[in-house]
């Protein structure tokens, strides 16, 4: 049994390699239907990475209040509250996400099992708003993009005694789906480990090479699918996805629309690998 991730035919060969993290024995990376002829990004989407427009200084993204958070003073307070972001896992998907933040000049910390000094050269190469920190320091952020091999989520979850008040954006995939999930969508299983956090599944349906490229192609915005139990958390991630230039599409709860971006057994959800674009973000 193993953990895997979507890749595209345009991906580098290394993207077809199994995840490097710990996993149960016998797992091989699989591509749906045993074929690599999945959707690929167009030529424009394959243009080289850019660090984005680099302005003097940094800014942290402003939190967009959700509809249910009230109006008046509460809304103003929420508007003043600044969001902080961390990417945990600085491999293929973690770096692809870091490019998205760098492109928009949004601060993000990155961390993995390795010390920050080991990640710093790559972080710096991606852009000045990408800063490597220790895992513990990175987890001080209120929004954490989880980009570790599926089986490693438990190790990350153990680092904090409580995840109250935090939002986890789960970019992990479990493939083939291990039996221990007992029929739960993999992200619902991940959510159980992060006690107190709100989890939103997202940024998991495309290969890393595609995700790393500018999501604005010929005036269209690359779609990312979001699903989760909490509407406020999903709305916050929706706002972030838009800031990053993506067109978020909300699918509802994990076991409802979210099923479309989860694997079931040895079959990928039908929206995985679908590299779609919308005119409006």
Ligand X SMILES: NC(=O)c1ccc[n+]([C@@H]2O[C@H](COP(=O)([O-])OP(=O)(O)OC[C@H]3O[C@@H](n4cnc5c(N)ncnc54)[C@H](OP(=O)(O)O)[C@@H]3O)[C@@H](O)[C@H]2O)c1
Contacting positions for ligand X (CB under 6 A): 3-7, 15, 19-21, 88-94, 112-114, 135, 147-150, 152, 155-156, 171-173, 204, 207-208
Distance CA 220, CA 279 (A): 5
Helix (H) / strand (E) element for 248: namely strand 247-252
Residue with Cβ nearer ligand X (224 or 240): 224
Shortest distance, position 51 Cβ to ligand X, whole Å: 20
Mapped onto helix, strand or coil, the DSSP state of residue 3 is coil
Query: CA 138 from chain center: how many Å?
Result: 15
Residue with Cβ nearer ligand X (89 or 248): 89
Shortest distance, position 179 Cβ to ligand X, whole Å: 18
In residues, how long is the chain? 281
Residues paired with residue 170 on neighbouring β-strands, in sequence order: 146, 201
Shortest distance, position 17 Cβ to ligand X, whole Å: 8
Shortest distance, position 129 Cβ to ligand X, whole Å: 19
> With the C-alpha atoms ordered 25, 30, 33, 34, is the resulting torsion angle positive or negative?
negative
Residue with Cβ nearer ligand X (65 or 269): 269
Contact 96, 212 (CB under 8 A): yes
Residue with Cβ nearer ligand X (167 or 172): 172
Radius of gyration of the chain (CA): 18
Shortest distance, position 25 Cβ to ligand X, whole Å: 17
Residue with Cβ nearer ligand X (91 or 245): 91
User: Which residues lie closer than 8 Å to 154 by C-beta, 6 or more apart?
Assistant: 193
Among 153, 183, 182, 184, smallest CA distance to 169 is for 153
Shortest distance, position 155 Cβ to ligand X, whole Å: 3
Residue with Cβ nearer ligand X (206 or 247): 206
**Residue 72, both tokens:** 């008046």
Which residue lies nearest ligand X, judged by its C-beta? 91
């Amino acid at each position: 049994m193993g953990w895997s991730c979507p890749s595209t035919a345009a991906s580098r060969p290394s993207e077809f390699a199994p995840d490097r993290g710990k996993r149960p024995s016998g797992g091989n990376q699989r591509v749906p239907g045993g074929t690599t002829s999945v959707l690929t990004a167009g030529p424009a989407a394959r243009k080289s990475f850019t660090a984005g427009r680099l302005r003097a200084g940094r800014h942290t993204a402003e939190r967009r209040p959700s509809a249910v958070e009230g109006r008046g003073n509460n809304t103003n307070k929420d508007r003043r509250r600044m969001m902080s972001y961390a990417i945990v896992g600085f491999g293929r998907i973690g770096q692809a996400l870091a490019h998205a933040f760098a492109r928009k000049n949004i601060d993000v910390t990155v961390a993995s099992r390795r010390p920050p000094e080991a990640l710093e050269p790559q972080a710096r190469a991606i852009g000045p708003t990408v800063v490597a920190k220790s895992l513990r320091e990175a987890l001080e952020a209120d929004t954490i993009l989880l980009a570790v091999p599926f089986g490693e989520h438990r190790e990350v979850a153990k680092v904090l005694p409580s995840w109250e008040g935090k939002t986890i954006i789960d970019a992990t995939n479990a493939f083939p789906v291990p039996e221990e999930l007992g029929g739960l969508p993999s992200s619902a299983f991940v959510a159980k480990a992060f006690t107190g956090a709100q989890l939103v599944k997202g940024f998991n349906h495309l290969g890393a090479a595609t995700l790393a490229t500018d999501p604005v192609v010929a005036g269209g915005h690359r779609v990312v699918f979001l699903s989760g139990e909490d509407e406020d958390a999903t709305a916050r991630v929706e706002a972030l996805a838009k800031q990053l230039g993506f067109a978020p599409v909300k699918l509802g709860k994990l076991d409802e629309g979210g099923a479309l971006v989860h694997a079931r057994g040895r079959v990928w959800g039908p929206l995985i690998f679908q590299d779609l674009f919308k005119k409006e973000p």
